[in-house]
A and B are shown apart, each in its own frame.
Chain A
Amino acid sequence: MSSDIIDVEILREIGRIANSDIHIDERLKVIISVIIEKTGADASSILLLDQHDNNLIFKATQGLNPDLINKIRIPVDKGIVGYVVRNKEIVALSVAADDPRFEPVPGIGEERFKSVLAVPILHKGLAIGLIYNQTVAEKTYTKREIELLEVIAEQVTGVIRNSQLYEKTCQHLSSLLSLNYFNERVNSSTNTGDLLNDLAGESLKMVKGDASVVWIVAEDKLVPMAHAGGDIGGPVIYEPIKIGEGLIGKVAEERKGLIVNSPDVWGEDMFVRAASPKAVIVVPLLVGKKVVGVLAVADKVGAERGDYIGFEPEELEILSSLSVYAAMAINRLDIYKKLERVSAEREKKIKELAILHEIGVAIQTVPDFNTLIRLILGCITVGDGLGFNRAMLFLVNDETNMLEGTMGLGPDSMDEAVDIWRSMPKIDNLVKWLLTHDYKDQGTGTHLNNLVKNIRVPIDSSGGILPMTLIKGKSFNVPDASQHPYIDRDFIEKIGTNSFAVVPIIVREQHIGVILVDNCYTEKEITEGDIEYLVHFTSYIGLAIHNRRLFKKLRESHNDILVIQNKLLRSEKLSALGELTAELVHELKNPLMVIGGLTRRIISNPNIDPDKYDRYNRAIQDEVSRIEKLLKEIQTNSRLVTTELAETDINMLIEDIIFFYEHTSRDRMVDIVKELSNDVGRCLIDADRFKQVIINLVHNSMDAMPGGGTLTIKTEPVKDDYNNGIMLTVMDTGTGIPPNVIDRIFDPFFTTKDDGTGLGLAMSKKIVEAHGGTIDYRGRPGGGAIFTIYIPKVGEGSMLVQANISSKKVRHH
């Protein structure tokens, strides 16, 4: 096979590697072996730049000493490898040792190589590493070879980016899950000690740290209260730290988290001196603007034990979120204790705590934002909750930098208020009641809600009391609005009350909005206790909003990956096709030219010399058998499908795929139902290829259910006199396939979609058949499609395995 086809094959193979879900190190290893196999280099290595210390690290190699992977670090100012990365330049040398830039790295076995081809791996205009090829014999690299390696380097960038994105998202998703789990636990804990231990332990897990410490504010000092993980520091860090002093004290004072990836700059700090961490994240535990403590996590564990890498900004973000939950819980327990002493109020406050707990749970379960906000305002206004007469919520719009009225809740007149209070039933579970109760039916708040929604003020001193609450970051209790410097008459008239309170909603320094409450009907005085409790409440609102934003962001990046994956899948389908046609065209045109050309000569030359005639005939026969051989090969599909068989747990494979589609399916209102039998066992298949089959079917089903529906994936063992295998069923409740096209759905290029290639089912069929299996379609009674795949179980040494091994050999000559 000549060079063009090999090129396409390499790219395709690397595309496949990029799309597989093995760990990045493994992927690079596979890429290296492809490079070696296809370019004829005697040694090939990938080195990546560690941005923290500007060293190049061997990530994968074949031909050089494999023990040096992840070990030897080459400073970027050294040798040819350094030159390539510094200058983002390709270097091709027939005799590397003659070049002044050449500086052999001792111990890696470079001495035996003569020629070198080194190509930078570029990402966003920066060199992030290089591919380093070497040959033993002296060699002059052609332009084409250089270009090929350049293209491979581009692919490697894709692989790295894709896997970084993937790993990050996976990590973040799991962080978010533990975050919610943590919140649930802290909401139900009544013991500060447990809570703090939990916090220390959880924070370690979330950012893969080695050790963590929690300090709690007591007057002007931070007292260490809990720690988890490795043995951090001596007794000295267990002494209280003054707020404002050292790394930990500074964070408490400035109320801002930070990452220090080289803590030696804080050499005089007590904590740093005692614990001597390699890297540390420190976050304040904040309730609004009040610091209740500090959390520090030290030493992120790298790929190898004892190998520490720096923390990333996202991790600061995650810990900060965790700390908000923790701070609220700590504050709550604090209040709890204080309250225990005041027994007169005890009962009421316990009830309030119960509400807080319920709201905390509701934040995680209520699906839409408006319902959640209404629920929270409901808690503020209903008599069994905080019992304010009215509540109004204003949120910051970041784009316009305005505070905008979002919702108002409460009766519109005295009469209405009396009506409601009279008819109010005895409520057992306030949150549940609020969630199931529709305020509109009661005719409440429509006027107030409209009024609030029409209020928009700029966030500066000209906007009056609402923005000032936010800017100052503290609550205002206003018994007489007409006397207040931030309030003008207009505002009083608009909201129709002269006494009220305004409370800011701030989460982690982020200004989210304000809440205004009043007792305009009962004219009950708003006490400091009421406000303290309201402040508490608002932190939940802030958190709900913040959480939603965080979640949205994570989801977006998760979607990014899906898009990339889809693109890769599609481009693979097309390149498989392109490869096939390019190859076919070439392999057919040449023999046809010979056959046709010589036949023409025979026809136009009746008196042709018999020797010549024989020679022509032989050539024609040669070419005909060449075509026949080619067609036979295509028929057995050995060119389209290569199979790498491995023992695979099909159920796991399905779980993995479904995990990826969770969000997409939710967005599309598709319920995924799994009916995976535990008795299917493992079977010998090419997992990557098989994954494609399942993904193709899942895609098709999703496409067929634009308005939502149910997708069922089922596995079951099949064992009888004739069969021993697995049946896999993918069923949807979509449009189904019209009878007149059923015959064509497995044909290549048959599609009814604007953007379809029509290759999904055709490829799936080929793949299933290469496994000795079958794929069939039938309509679902009641509408929808059912695809069933049967795969026979084959053992090592069976016909299929043999056939695949030999077809692979044919392919790689």
Chain B
Amino acid sequence: MGKKCILVVDDEENIRFLYNEELHDMGFSVELAKNAAEAEEKLRDKKPDLIILDIKMPDVDGIELLNRIRSNDTTTPIIISSAYNDYKQDFNVWGAEAYVVKSSDLTELKGEIKRILWGDNP
């Protein structure tokens, strides 16, 4: 069985870089996308096992992208990762599996990834 693949969608380069480093260390293969168009392309070509999605992006934002993904793919799990606290209670309405507020401490995010992909209890 090959490595599980995670797609990271964020408009900020350094953030993508940080995710890439951390997720590689966890043993995943990582795909990066800086906007909705890139994300949709990678989604089609790479069939990731999990998507990490930022909300605030220019043009098409994370919520809109999530809507688009969910309109023809209801299974690939999605974690929203955002600087905002305010939307936290809405994530399952939008069809995401988890909502993590951005922080330099990535423990919570990693915990959610493990829970979703490996069935770990955090």
Contacts and interface: CB of A to CB of B under 8 A. Distances in A.
Nearest to B11: A2
A586 B21 contact: no
A598 B18 contact: yes
A143 B83 contact: no
A2 B83 contact: no
B37 interface: no
B63 to A, nearest CB: 8
A729 B59 CA distance: 48
Interface in A615-644: 615, 619, 622-623
Nearest to B12: A590
B86 to A, nearest CB: 8
Nearest to A5: B56
A596 interface: yes
A39 to B, nearest CB: 13
Contacts of A594: 12, 14-15, 17-18, 104
Contact of A3 (B15, B61, B104): B61
Interface string B27-69: 0000000000000000000000000000011111101100100
B106 interface: yes
A142 B104 contact: no
Contact of B57 (A2, A142, A143, A623): A2
Nearest to A623: B14
Interface string A562-603: 000000000000000000001001100111111111111100
A585 B83 contact: yes
A338 to B, nearest CB: 80
Nearest to B67: A143
B19 to A, nearest CB: 9
A623 B17 CA distance: 13
A596 B104 contact: yes
A678 to B, nearest CB: 52
Contact of B102 (A4, A590, A615): A590
A586 B58 contact: no
A591 B59 CA distance: 21
B56 A2 contact: yes
B56 A595 contact: no
Contacts of B103: 589, 593, 596
Nearest to A626: B14
A589 B105 CA distance: 12
A144 interface: yes
Contact of A593 (B21, B64, B102): B102
A174 to B, nearest CB: 47
B108 interface: no
B84 interface: yes
B64 A589 contact: no
B18 A589 contact: no
Nearest to B17: A619
Contacts of A585: 83-84
Interface in B74-99: 83-84
A416 to B, nearest CB: 77
B72 to A, nearest CB: 16
Contact of B83 (A142, A590, A599): A590
B66 to A, nearest CB: 12
B104 A595 contact: yes
Contacts of A143: 64, 67
Interface residues of A, number: 26
Given A590-B15, A619-B17, A596 B105 contact: yes
A102 B120 CA distance: 57
Contacts of B14: 591, 594, 619, 622-623
A149 to B, nearest CB: 15
B88 to A, nearest CB: 13
A589 B15 CA distance: 11
B71 to A, nearest CB: 11
A597 B18 contact: yes
A399 B12 CA distance: 68
A633 B93 CA distance: 37
Contacts of B21: 598, 601
Contact of B104 (A144, A597, A619): A597
Given A594-B15, A597-B18, A142 B56 contact: no
B64 A142 contact: yes
Contacts of A582: 84
B83 A586 contact: yes
A281 to B, nearest CB: 54
A622 B15 CA distance: 12
Contacts of B11: 2
Contacts of B84: 582, 585-586
A598 B63 CA distance: 27
B17 A586 contact: no
Contacts of B83: 585-586, 589-590
Nearest to A4: B56
Nearest to B25: A601
Contacts of B102: 589-590, 593
B35 to A, nearest CB: 11
A4 B64 CA distance: 12
B12 A3 contact: no
Nearest to A620: B14
A144 B106 contact: no
Contacts of A593: 15, 18, 102-104
Contact of B58 (A3, A590, A592, A597): A3
A603 to B, nearest CB: 12
Contacts of A615: 17
A590 B18 CA distance: 11
B30 to A, nearest CB: 15
A2 B104 contact: no
Interface in B101-119: 102-106
A695 B104 CA distance: 44
Interface string B5-23: 0000001101101100110
Nearest to A587: B83
A585 B56 CA distance: 12
A747 to B, nearest CB: 25
Given A2-B57, A589-B83, 7 more contacts: A143-B67, A144-B61, A594-B12, A597-B22, A597-B106, A600-B105, A615-B17
25 contacts: A2-B11, A2-B57, A3-B56, A4-B56, A4-B61, A143-B67, A144-B61, A144-B63, A144-B64, A582-B84, A589-B102, A589-B103, A590-B102, A593-B104, A594-B14, A594-B104, A595-B104, A597-B18, A597-B22, A597-B104, A597-B106, A598-B21, A600-B104, A619-B17, A623-B14
Sorted from nearest, which 10 A-B pairs have the closest CB atoms?
A596-B104, A589-B83, A594-B14, A586-B83, A597-B18, A619-B14, A2-B58, A597-B104, A593-B102, A593-B104
Interface of A: 2-4, 142-144, 582, 585-586, 589-601, 615, 619, 622-623
